[in-house]
A and B are shown apart, each in its own frame.
Chain A
Amino acid sequence: MSINKATVSALAIVAVTATAAAARDQVQVAGSSTVLPYASIVAEAFGENFDFPTPVVESGGSSAGLKRFCEGVGENTIDIANASRAIRDSEVEACAAAGVTDIIEVRIGYDGIVFASQQDGPAFTEFTPSHWYMALAAQIPGEDGTLADNRVANWSEVDESLPDAEILAFIPGTKHGTREVFEEKVILQGCEDTGAMERMMSGGMDEDAVEEACMSIRADGASVDIDGDYTETLARIESNANGVGVFGLAFYENNTDKLKVATMEGVTPSTETISSGEYPVSRPLYFYIKKAHIGAIPGLKEFAEFFVSDDIAGPDGPLSEYGLVADPELAETQATVSEETPMQ
């Protein structure tokens, strides 16, 4: 009877399940969606050139990846966490509490953050941090330092050099690591450059309050949080001629036929200007290795070494071609990986 057969096969599956403790033979990676494309490029090349299987790379965000990384040591936990920011002290503590003590920090390079708009839209070609602060801050201090709601509706009201177009910015949502960089390197910088910070200080606010006031973004529709990824931002830009979006350099470089990039303080974003430090808005990208898994998971160390090798992460490698800004101190990183030096 078919029912009997089905039951037998079901039981067989359950039996197999119970006996399954097969050793994992591929590296497991999870974390930042910004690092994901780079990690998958490396994983692909690694699988092609080594006898080890291609590592499995998941995305899900830096915080989620580090949380899973810190779940413990063992085959059912990931070996590498990708992050678009450095690991936090609280995360290191959480790791230690779960037995993950020796963590190797690997900086793979830098990611540029660019401001781009539709090809045929208004001429958004030159921005400064001050422009962004004046356009997007929730409240702007007056002469005496008292805060008033930001009612600027048009870019030309911010600065005469900017086009006469309504302010409509698509910025990464708060769950993205990119948002933090945008707030710190653009908005906060703008707050300082315009003198708003000084006015607030002299108005009697303390430092933390000033910083918070500087970095709060208006919520009246002029700025739209994008919680998805850059493809969503691109779709919004394509349907809004006046929209200006925040993108990663790699994403922009893959879509230069649709997007027009703006300079920041006169510097055009490119892997060269970011690596020289001229272009101000960039951040380091990392991955973290569990030292306890080296040796236990085949290919883990080889994968990490391959990732930071000159062929891959160097200025002429495939990662740089895709948009990663190569780390000038790559040799030190290579030494860290080969000597398995854990972070302090």
Chain B
Amino acid sequence: MTDATAEGGAGHGGAGQGSLLARDTRTARRNAAESRFKLYGLIAVCIGIAMLVLLLTSILMNGLSSFQQTRLQIMVELPEDKLDKSGVRDPEVMSKVTTFGYAPLLRDGLEATIAEAGIETDLSAKDAADLISDESVAQLRNMVLANPDLVGQTIPVEVLASGRIDGYYKGRVTMASAELDSNISPEQLVLADQLKAAGKLSTSFNWSFFTAPDASDTRPEAAGLGVAILGSLYMMLIVLCLALPIGVAASIYLEEFAPQNRWTDLIEVNISNLAAVPSIVFGILGLAIFINFAGLPQSAPIVGGLVLTLMTLPTIIIATRAALKAVPPSIRDAALGLGASKMQSVFHHVLPLAMPGILTGTIIGLAQALGETAPLLLIGMVAFVREYPESPLDGGLFDPATALPVQVYNWTQRSDPAFVERASGAIITLLLFLLVMNLTAIFLRRKFERRW
């Protein structure tokens, strides 16, 4: 401010040049440089946004359809002589009939449904049955075993349509591609259209995408994120319960109590260093220590959680120390001056004020851990897991599970093109989780942060 007035004053004293109203060449150059810089900045931001938009559109274009699912409504007869010869309706005995025994029932059921709807088709019963997902046999068997009294009745069942039929209603499969496809024929698509017209086939929201477990390569339509979401949740729980207290305790000690000497410097350098170590290194460490030495089970969220805790700790420590540093020394001095002990001043005054910063750091650390795949590769979590883990109280942390990013990786490797859609759907789900976490972090900072 003072510079400007001084310059202005000097200009007036000069030989008619440097008027505040008429810009001289130097000011013009400076202003031009400034607007150029602003332009560069704007271009940089635009490139960033363009990339993001490109990424998001490609993911959304591929993945949004995974939240919709095509299903068939058919009537299935459950004959006693096939399912329960003994007639005692004992699930134990009835479980002798495997899913292979249920396949003909579904085939007949679909045939009857087609006939009932008055649809004429040249397809054999076997080809028509290709419209139904392989998952349905297990679905039907579980239904019957859960309620043995159904045997002998004809019941309505809603079954998944097979991946190719589902793809047809999502634009992935067309009549032209079906012509070349060995897994589906145009006649089958025509039949699907006829069933749709008769109200036996419909597309609706796909809740099971979030609750169902993974499915094998032959049933992309049944694959869901249930186990992966649970696994990720368990791991985040472990990371939160371990990394937050350890990280905060370490930072409080280092920031408030530790003497400043060569040792604390060394520790500080190491923490910053660890924050930048590639995550796969933590996976190798986890395999060596937690599985091979401590004997913890493979593929279990407990090991994944411990490994991710190690990975997240430096991030939390660095964020916590920054938050503690930001609390003005006057607060500490005032507390100490009123006779509080060092510990009382920290826990009663400094820590509550630093809390928003600590929580923000923790959430960002958790978000980073949530998206991590590499360390899980080595501890057996990149796997095909279909059983839900038990609740954490029943030792569920030791049951096999996968994680969200792992599921994305797994699905991109599958040969059926329907898994491309599933993988993109999983990415969208993962992004939503991350968005919620980061929004929470911003909210906490805005709401509770105090500035001095």
A134 at interface by CB-CB < 8 Å: no
* Known contacts A3-B245, A41-B216, A48-B99; A256 and B415 CB within 8 A of each other: no
A15 at interface by CB-CB < 8 Å: no
- Chain A residues lying within 8 Å of B98, measured Cβ to Cβ, are 49, 311
B295 at interface by CB-CB < 8 Å: yes
Rounded to whole angstroms, the CA-CA distance of A3 and B98 in the bound complex is 53
- Chain B residues lying within 8 Å of A248, measured Cβ to Cβ, are 415
A53 at interface by CB-CB < 8 Å: yes
User: Which chain B residue lies CB-closest to A57?
Assistant: B384
* Known contacts A76-B298, A257-B180; A22 and B384 CB within 8 A of each other: no
A93 at interface by CB-CB < 8 Å: no
A21 at interface by CB-CB < 8 Å: yes
A162 at interface by CB-CB < 8 Å: no
CB <8 Å contact, A21 and B295: yes
CB <8 Å contact, B398 and A231: no
CB <8 Å contact, B181 and A37: no
CB <8 Å contact, A13 and B181: no
A36 at interface by CB-CB < 8 Å: yes
CB <8 Å contact, A254 and B384: no
Nearest CB on B from A144, distance (A)? 47
Rounded to whole angstroms, the CA-CA distance of A315 and B134 in the bound complex is 18
Q: How large is the interface on B (under 10, 10 to 19, 20 to 34, 35 or more residues)?
A: 35 or more
* Known contacts A3-B245, A48-B141; A26 and B387 CB within 8 A of each other: yes
User: Which chain B residue lies CB-closest to A14?
Assistant: B242
A-B contacts besides A43-B384, A255-B417, A311-B98, 7 pairs, CB < 8 Å:
A3-B347, A10-B246, A44-B216, A44-B219, A49-B99, A248-B415, A322-B217
Rounded to whole angstroms, the CA-CA distance of A14 and B383 in the bound complex is 26
Rounded to whole angstroms, the CA-CA distance of A51 and B96 in the bound complex is 11
Contact of B380 among A21, A30, A229 (CB under 8 A): A30
User: Which chain B residue lies CB-closest to A56?
Assistant: B400
Contact of B385 among A37, A56, A60, A229 (CB under 8 A): A56
Nearest CB on A from B78, distance (A)? 17
Rounded to whole angstroms, the CA-CA distance of A60 and B298 in the bound complex is 15
A150 at interface by CB-CB < 8 Å: no
- Chain A residues lying within 8 Å of B183, measured Cβ to Cβ, are 253-254, 256
Rounded to whole angstroms, the CA-CA distance of A59 and B413 in the bound complex is 11
- Chain A residues lying within 8 Å of B73, measured Cβ to Cβ, are none
CB <8 Å contact, A311 and B100: yes
Contact of A76 among B134, B173, B180, B291 (CB under 8 A): B291
- Chain A residues lying within 8 Å of B302, measured Cβ to Cβ, are 17, 20
* Known contacts A10-B241, A22-B398; A56 and B177 CB within 8 A of each other: no
Instruction: Give me 19 A-to-B residue pairs in the complex whose CB atoms sit less than 8 angstroms apart, sorted by A's number.
Output: A3-B245, A3-B347, A6-B245, A16-B397, A17-B294, A17-B296, A20-B398, A21-B295, A22-B297, A28-B299, A30-B380, A41-B216, A43-B384, A47-B387, A51-B95, A56-B380, A58-B384, A76-B296, A254-B415
A154 at interface by CB-CB < 8 Å: no
Within 8 A of A (CB), among B110-154: 134, 137-138, 141
CB <8 Å contact, A53 and B217: no
User: Which chain B residue lies CB-closest to A30?
Assistant: B380
- Chain B residues lying within 8 Å of A59, measured Cβ to Cβ, are 382-383, 413
Contact with A along B77-101 (1 / 0, CB 8 A): 0000000000000000001001110
CB <8 Å contact, A58 and B248: no
- Chain A residues lying within 8 Å of B296, measured Cβ to Cβ, are 17, 20, 76
Nearest CB on A from B312, distance (A)? 14
CB <8 Å contact, B292 and A13: no
Q: By CB atoms of chain A within 10 A, which of B249, B395, B412, B413 has the most?
A: B413
- Chain A residues lying within 8 Å of B351, measured Cβ to Cβ, are 3
Nearest CB on B from A24, distance (A)? 6
Q: By CB atoms of chain B within 10 A, which of A10, A51, A251 has the most?
A: A10
Nearest CB on A from B201, distance (A)? 22
Rounded to whole angstroms, the CA-CA distance of A51 and B92 in the bound complex is 10
Nearest CB on A from B237, distance (A)? 9
Contact of B178 among A21, A255, A257 (CB under 8 A): A257
- List the interface of chain A (C-beta within 8 A of B): 1, 3, 6-7, 9-10, 13, 16-17, 20-22, 24, 26, 28, 30, 33, 36-37, 39-41, 43-45, 47-49, 51, 53-54, 56-60, 75-76, 78, 119, 229-231, 248, 250-251, 253-258, 311, 318, 321-322
Rounded to whole angstroms, the CA-CA distance of A255 and B241 in the bound complex is 46
Rounded to whole angstroms, the CA-CA distance of A6 and B248 in the bound complex is 11
Rounded to whole angstroms, the CA-CA distance of A127 and B242 in the bound complex is 60
B386 at interface by CB-CB < 8 Å: yes
- Chain B residues lying within 8 Å of A51, measured Cβ to Cβ, are 95
- Chain A residues lying within 8 Å of B170, measured Cβ to Cβ, are none
Rounded to whole angstroms, the CA-CA distance of A58 and B380 in the bound complex is 7
CB <8 Å contact, A6 and B299: no
Contact of A6 among B95, B180, B241, B384 (CB under 8 A): B241
Q: By CB atoms of chain A within 10 A, which of B138, B245, B299 has the most?
A: B245
User: Which chain A residue lies CB-closest to B139?
Assistant: A48
- Chain A residues lying within 8 Å of B246, measured Cβ to Cβ, are 10
Contact with A along B415-439 (1 / 0, CB 8 A): 1110000000000000000000000
Rounded to whole angstroms, the CA-CA distance of A19 and B413 in the bound complex is 37
B5 at interface by CB-CB < 8 Å: no
Nearest CB on A from B337, distance (A)? 24
User: Which chain B residue lies CB-closest to A317?
Assistant: B100
User: Which chain B residue lies CB-closest to A36?
Assistant: B384
User: Which chain A residue lies CB-closest to B182?
Assistant: A256
Rounded to whole angstroms, the CA-CA distance of A263 and B400 in the bound complex is 43
CB <8 Å contact, A26 and B400: yes
User: Which chain A residue lies CB-closest to B98?
Assistant: A49
- Chain A residues lying within 8 Å of B299, measured Cβ to Cβ, are 28, 56, 58
CB <8 Å contact, B297 and A254: no
Within 8 A of A (CB), among B181-235: 181-183, 215-219
CB <8 Å contact, B413 and A229: yes
* Known contacts A41-B216, A322-B217; A253 and B414 CB within 8 A of each other: no
B106 at interface by CB-CB < 8 Å: no
User: Which chain A residue lies CB-closest to B400?
Assistant: A56
- Chain B residues lying within 8 Å of A13, measured Cβ to Cβ, are 238, 241-242, 397
